[in-house]
């Protein structure tokens, strides 16, 4: 669940986001469409907590019930690890690690035991049709397979 209220973003004098209100419910799939330069990436960076709104005193961003504008940097990093996933188009996976190892990384950061993390990673890879690619490194996977590994990682 994402509930953003009155999000403003300025780059110096330039006002890019002018009081965005957005409510995305659990399980809802949403696309953001707009002209180049309209502010899509800016909004996504803010919704993903990678950037901050300019008016933190008024605007709020509630993700899964937590008001992220009230978290410290450290709390925010932990919150991101547990609640938010990003699928980029490129350079998503660490090249030195296999598919299973890449999927395990967020769990290792959370200090999940190795065997538990690996079993879960394999389940997710199986679910996404990658059961025969556990030990492949990203360079040994197709683009679509790489993206599915990235999905499993989240």
Helix (H) / strand (E) element for 108: namely helix 99-109
- Minimum distance of Mg ion from residue 41's CB (angstroms): 3
| Binding test (CB under 6 A) with ligand ATP, winner from 25, 31, 37, 115 | 37
How many chain residues bind Mg ion (CB under 5 A)? 1
- Minimum distance of Mg ion from residue 44's CB (angstroms): 8
Please report, for residues 58, 79, 99, the alpha-carbon distance to residue 3 in angstroms, rounded to integers and kept in the order given. Answer: 14, 16, 33
- Of 35-43, 46-54, 59-67, 104-112, which part binds ligand ATP (CB under 6 A)? 35-43
CA 122, 123, 125, 129 torsion: positive or negative? positive
Footprint of ligand ATP (CB under 6 A): 11, 14, 16, 34, 36-42
């Amino acid at each position: 669940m994402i509930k953003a209220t009155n999000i403003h973003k300025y780059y110096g004098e330039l006002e890019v986001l002018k009081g965005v209100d957005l409510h995305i419910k659990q399980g809802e799939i949403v696309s953001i469409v707009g002209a180049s330069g309209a502010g899509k990436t800016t909004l996504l960076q803010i919704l993903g907590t990678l950037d901050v709104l300019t008016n933190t005193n008024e605007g709020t961003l509630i993700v899964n019930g937590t008001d992220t504008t009230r978290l410290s940097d450290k709390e925010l990093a932990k919150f991101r690890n547990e609640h938010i996933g990003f699928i980029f188009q490129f350079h998503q996976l660490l090249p030195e690690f296999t598919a299973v190892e890449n999927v395990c990384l967020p769990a290792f950061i959370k200090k999940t035991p190795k065997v538990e993390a690996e079993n879960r990673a394999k389940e997710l890879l199986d679910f996404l049709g990658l059961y025969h690619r556990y030990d492949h490194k990203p360079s040994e996977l197709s683009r679509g397979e790489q993206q599915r590994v990235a999905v499993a990682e989240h």
